[in-house]
Amino acid sequence: MINVILNGKKSVLEKTMSILELLKLKKIKPEVVTIELNDSIIDKKKFKATSIKEGDRIEFVYFMGGGC
């Protein structure tokens, strides 16, 4: 079990996992979010290779856009 902070809230993950695995777990499409890990934005291409560790702070926002 690892403890992380997800969008400011304490969260417990069952195991160390990649950002991509976390998004799958949360049913979030990777293409529509921007992820910040410990204050650094992670390139989408690195979601699979970036592991989440104990105490990490993860911040995510969805794409905001549209138009007429």
Minimal CA–CA distance to 51: which of 32, 33, 38, 34?
Answer: 38
Q: Does 67 bind another protein (CB under 8 A)?
A: yes
Query: Whose Cβ is closer to another protein: residue 48's or residue 62's?
Result: 62
CB of 54 to another protein, least distance (A): 21
Name residues contacting another protein, limited to 1-20 (CB under 8 A).
7-8
Query: Whose Cβ is closer to another protein: residue 17's or residue 44's?
Result: 44
Q: Which long-range contacts (CB under 8 A, 24 or more apart) does 21-28 make?
A: 22/52, 22/58, 23/47, 28/60
Take residue 25 and report the two structure tokens written for it: 């777990």
CB of 36 to another protein, least distance (A): 5
